[in-house]
Chains A and B, each alone.
Chain A
Amino acid sequence: MSVIAVFEAIAAAAVERWGARLLTMVGADERPRDNRFRLYYTFELPSGGGFVTLVCPLGPEEANFPSVTPRLPAANWYEREVRDLLGLEPEGHPDPRRLVLHENWPPGVYPLRKDFPGGSRPERTAGDFPFLRVQGDGVMEIPVGPIHAGIIEPGHFRLSAVGELIIHLETRLFFTHRGLEKEAEGRPLDRGVFLAERACGVCALSHATAYAQAVECLSGVEAPPRARFIRTIALELERLYNHIGDVGNICAGTGLHFGTSQGARLKEELQRLNDAVFGHRFLRGVAVPGGVGADLDAERIALIKQTVDRVEGEFEELVEVLMASDSFLDRLRGTGRLAPETARDLGVVGVAARASGIDRDARRDHPYAAYAELDFSVPVRTAGDVEARLQVRVEEALQSFRLIRRALAGLPPGPVRLELNRVAPYKTAIGIVESPRGDNVHWLMSGPGETIFRYRIRSASYANWPAVPFAVAGNIVPDFPLINKSFELCYACLDR
């Protein structure tokens, strides 16, 4: 039996019998290397079992492979992406429509193939996207976006509603697809971090750190202890400004402007701290392959400590007021429920997973930076509604304040950056970091001359966007923005 024939059975067995979770899937055009395409399905094994990757090689003329999506729903978007960008068709995939490239892109042209010159811009084509149509008495179709009424990223939502009740939501995304992965190809390995931290603004540091970790893995070095602690402090500062801002945004979704303003001003304090200590409000330039870009002196350490102590007190006061507001809590309770089974089947990660009973956190399960040396707990809730996602964020933020203080207290001496070793071509590595939204997984393959051959970013938003329609169905239209804000997923992280 050929590899391809058994491939789908092995992938399904990994999940059904070993309890594995699909972590990411990457397609690569390796024809310059050995005249093959390859698909890499990486699974995360439970209870610290590590990772296993199933590799499916395809000959240069083969354009099909058996889709695993019918048995592993979590593989859905990954396989469609491989179809769009590499022209490899997942046979038996339930969804034949384009995902990443929209109708303006001509058929038969695959930008991630090595024979597609980077920067080439084919003529625009026209067409229609076949949205699922819900038919029946009184069913209305409400199209929203891609340009939205507020200051928010672009995405299209097709709501099918009867009166105010949403029967079905279809999302259409990838409007901010910028071709980042193609741009990365051919760049020196140590320069890829500049692109990694521009995949997204609010996850910039977790992307940069995941990339740096992948390069360090390829290079066989580990960032020095002081750098790992500094990364931890900065990563928790990123988590804090996101979570506190997100609490404010959830208040905006309910019209509680007091909460929005308080959340926004605390977020602003934390971003100013980032600027003062690390030189960038979004922490770009902090994580680099080999360590961190700059050291922390006593003055900066004191500033972090002061600010964190003060913001913690203010945040606790804010949460106290919010939890005393019955009308606010009434909006959140029972709204936008994501069932635990759905979250599991789709491979949901991060805050959304932990709010639906799935106990996973890359900081604890696959420790990186200094997390193995620091004490912290991971909050889990089972209600799966907007309230649960708020509660998980509040508790994580309180943990983050403590983590930062412990990391500052335990900051070891030493260098903050090490030289990388030479990297042979066609080696692969993964870097995983728990961003404020969930785990970001960076898959990297080196090329000749210490360059990037293939780079795939699977952000937390990539894993979670497919679950949003399930949380929205059955709710009323005015709750849709609130439910979206409770997930607070990035579009740019997904689209790249």
Chain B
Amino acid sequence: MWEMMMKKILKTGRVTVPIPFPAPALGKADGEVACTAALPREHMPALDGGAEREPAPGTRRTPGRSLHIRHLDAGSCNACDWELNALLNPVYDLQRFGADIVASPRHADMVVVTGPVTRNLHDAVLRTVEAAPRPCLVAAVGDCACGSGPFRDSYATAGSVDRVLPVHARIPGCPPRPEDIIRGILLAVPAAPPAAHQR
């Protein structure tokens, strides 16, 4: 059986696609970037609202390029979740950028939130981000998380992630395409351009 598997793997070859940074300008003027992605913030507000322990001199205030990302579904329809899942497939291969998805908020530099923060998930959302060690970025992926989704006025939701948490990057779309999610996540981190990591 494993000979069949090896044959199939060799036949398939490499399927990973390059991701241009920034996005190709979609009919925009020179110099203008038509990237649907991040609006990174300069400063990192304290996520727990309380006094932050004073970091040692020289400690970075923001995560670097080796970004470990926890996904947090705050009530999405699952389209954004499946696109995040696609980031780990051989075509998008998020790991080639040095970033990875982790299984626990305790291991996370960034929490990527999908969905409009439903009432039933409110506490779980807060506890997950509280559990992440600082510094930690929060990215809102998808229209619902960004506050422009169809459930923003419902009795059952908070309406958007920024009503409940500080948000450092917004990646709108319904759902945003995987390449836009990658761009948004990586551009939220002020470090060397990701293009350097692609062969």
Cβ-defined contact, A321 with B1, below 8 A:
yes
A492 and B71 in contact, given A119-B155, A177-B120, A198-B150 (Cβ under 8 angstroms): no
Centre residue among A154, A174, A180, A182 by max chain B CB count within 10 A: A154
Cβ-defined contact, A102 with B119, below 8 A:
yes
Cβ-defined contact, A201 with B81, below 8 A:
yes
Cβ-defined contact, A262 with B8, below 8 A:
yes
With both beta carbons as reference points, the residue of chain B lying nearest to A178 in the complex is identified as: B151
Assembled-state Cα–Cα distance A326/B154 (Å): 50
Q: Looking at the complex, which of A142-150, A232-240, A414-422 is the stretch in contact with chain B?
A: A142-150
Interface residue A151 (Cβ < 8 Å from any Cβ of B): yes
Instruction: Identify which of residues 115-170 in chain B touch chain A, using a CB-to-CB cut-off of 8 Å.
Output: 115-116, 118-124, 128, 149-151, 153-157
Assembled-state Cα–Cα distance A284/B78 (Å): 13
With both beta carbons as reference points, the residue of chain A lying nearest to B121 in the complex is identified as: A175
Assembled-state Cα–Cα distance A237/B149 (Å): 26
Cβ-defined contact, A490 with B150, below 8 A:
no
Cβ-defined contact, B12 with A265, below 8 A:
yes
Residues of B within 8 A of A177 (CB): 75, 118-120, 156
Instruction: Identify which of residues 1-54 in chain B touch chain A, using a CB-to-CB cut-off of 8 Å.
Output: 1, 4-5, 8-9, 11-12, 15
Cβ-defined contact, B79 with A282, below 8 A:
yes
With both beta carbons as reference points, the residue of chain B lying nearest to A198 in the complex is identified as: B77
Interface residue B86 (Cβ < 8 Å from any Cβ of A): yes
Contact indicator per residue, chain A 359-390, by CB within 8 Å of chain B (1) or not (0): 00000000000000000000000000000000
With both beta carbons as reference points, the residue of chain A lying nearest to B104 in the complex is identified as: A149
Assembled-state Cα–Cα distance A384/B101 (Å): 34
Cβ-defined contact, B90 with A321, below 8 A:
no
Residues of A within 8 A of B92 (CB): 268
Instruction: Identify which of residues 309-357 in chain A touch chain B, using a CB-to-CB cut-off of 8 Å.
Output: 314, 317-318, 320-321, 324-326
With both beta carbons as reference points, the residue of chain B lying nearest to A121 in the complex is identified as: B155
Contact with B151, one of A180, A314, A324, A491 (Cβ below 8 angstroms): A180
Cβ-defined contact, B150 with A194, below 8 A:
yes
Residues of A within 8 A of B66 (CB): none
Cβ-defined contact, A201 with B82, below 8 A:
yes
Chain B: how many interface residues by the 8 Å CB criterion?
52
Interface residue B189 (Cβ < 8 Å from any Cβ of A): no
Assembled-state Cα–Cα distance A281/B177 (Å): 8
Cβ-defined contact, B78 with A492, below 8 A:
yes
Residues of B within 8 A of A122 (CB): 155
Interface residue B182 (Cβ < 8 Å from any Cβ of A): no
Cβ-defined contact, B84 with A176, below 8 A:
no
Contact with A317, one of B8, B71, B75 (Cβ below 8 angstroms): B8
Residues of B within 8 A of A491 (CB): 78
Chain A: how many interface residues by the 8 Å CB criterion?
60
Cβ-defined contact, B174 with A198, below 8 A:
yes
Assembled-state Cα–Cα distance A133/B123 (Å): 24
Assembled-state Cα–Cα distance A441/B153 (Å): 25
Please report whether the interface of chain A is mostly helix, strand, loop or mixed according to DSSP.
loop
A201 and B154 in contact, given A178-B116, A281-B177 (Cβ under 8 angstroms): no
Contact with A152, one of B73, B79, B153 (Cβ below 8 angstroms): B73
Residues of A within 8 A of B150 (CB): 183, 194-195, 198
With both beta carbons as reference points, the residue of chain A lying nearest to B112 in the complex is identified as: A151
Interface residue A199 (Cβ < 8 Å from any Cβ of B): yes
A178 and B174 in contact, given A102-B120, A258-B5 (Cβ under 8 angstroms): no
Contact indicator per residue, chain B 83-116, by CB within 8 Å of chain A (1) or not (0): 1111011111000000001011000000000011
Contact indicator per residue, chain A 182-201, by CB within 8 Å of chain B (1) or not (0): 11000000000011001111
Interface residue B184 (Cβ < 8 Å from any Cβ of A): no
Cβ-defined contact, B120 with A174, below 8 A:
yes
Residues of B within 8 A of A268 (CB): 86, 89, 91-92
Interface residue B72 (Cβ < 8 Å from any Cβ of A): yes
Residues of B within 8 A of A324 (CB): 1, 4
Interface residue B186 (Cβ < 8 Å from any Cβ of A): no
Interface residue A476 (Cβ < 8 Å from any Cβ of B): no
Assembled-state Cα–Cα distance A258/B5 (Å): 8
Contact with A124, one of B75, B79, B119 (Cβ below 8 angstroms): B119
Cβ-defined contact, B120 with A201, below 8 A:
no
Instruction: Identify which of residues 233-268 in chain A touch chain B, using a CB-to-CB cut-off of 8 Å.
Output: 258, 261-262, 264-265, 267-268
Residues of B within 8 A of A466 (CB): none
Least Cβ distance of B163 to chain A in Å? 11
Interface residue A35 (Cβ < 8 Å from any Cβ of B): no
New A-B pairs, 6, CB < 8 Å, besides A147-B128, A154-B73: A147-B72, A177-B119, A201-B79, A282-B79, A284-B174, A317-B8
Q: List 20 A-B contacts (CB under 8 A).
A: A119-B153, A121-B155, A147-B72, A147-B73, A153-B76, A175-B118, A175-B124, A176-B121, A177-B156, A178-B116, A182-B156, A198-B77, A200-B79, A201-B80, A202-B79, A202-B82, A261-B89, A262-B12, A264-B90, A324-B1
- Chain A residues proximal to chain B, CB less than 8 Å: 101-102, 104-105, 111, 116, 118-122, 124, 146-147, 149-154, 174-180, 182-183, 194-195, 198-202, 204, 258, 261-262, 264-265, 267-268, 271, 275, 281-282, 284, 314, 317-318, 320-321, 324-326, 490-492
